[in-house]
Amino acid sequence: MDLHDFDSVSLYFDDACPPEVDALLDTAAQGCVDGEGELPLLQAHLHAPEQLVVLVGLYRYYFYRHRLAEADVVAQRAMQVSGRRLGLPDDWQRMDQIALADAASRSIGLLRFWLLALKARAILALRDGRIPAGRQMLEKLVTLDQHDRLGASALLAVIGNVDAVAASEVA
């Protein structure tokens, strides 16, 4: 399955936001430069907890402020919301090619979003020093993304090189 095949698909941001959520997102965008964007983002999340554009905004806010634990919670929530819409297993570890194909038939754009959220969680785990957890997520991505469109194999190679250097230093 090619994850770049987007022929007339609905992307994950196609859902219209309620006007009050749009206004809060605008306020958050204006306040992010000064670090004042968190409160309006949290308010937008209270109004629309399953709005993916709100979750992406929260994730980015936390990620760019190096608040990795909060970013991971938001990425996990994004996987739950998008996974439920796609009929995916609750546990990403149970994801397989059959579930992937079924989800792709529903929305390839939303499926890419789910896969990218898993990749984001893997990167957060690696940055947080949880190498085995990050590696496990990346390995799952490699098995699901057989054309490696999301670049998980390159990240696994980097981890392998770091492991090899560490092993040689110990020896």
Q: What is the pLDDT of residues 80-110, one digit of tens each?
A: 999 999 999 999 999 999 999 999 999 999 9
CA 129 to each of CA 19, 68, 124, 126, 135: distance values in angstroms, whole numbers, following the listed order: 40, 11, 9, 5, 11
Mean pLDDT computed over 9-33 = 79
Contact of 94 with 114, CB cutoff 8 Å: no
Rg for the chain, CA atoms, rounded: 17
At residue 31, the pLDDT reads 80
Q: Please report the pLDDT score of residue 160 as a whole number.
A: 81
Give CA angle at 136 (134, 138), nearest 5°: 70
Segment 67-71 mean pLDDT: 97
- Number of helices (H), then strands (E), in the chain: 8, 0
Domain 19-170 fold: 1.25.40
What is the domain partition of the chain in residue ranges? 19-170
Q: Which residue, 134, 25, 117, 130, is CA-closest to 71?
A: 117
pLDDT confidence of residue 166: 58
Q: Decide if pLDDT at 71 tops 50.
A: yes
Mean pLDDT score of the chain, rounded to an integer? 88
Which is it for the CA torsion 35, 121, 1, 82, positive or negative?
negative
Q: What is the pLDDT at residue 150?
A: 94
Dump pLDDT digits (tens) for 24-57. Answer: 999 998 887 777 889 999 999 999 999 999 999 9
Q: pTM (2 decimals)? A: 0.86
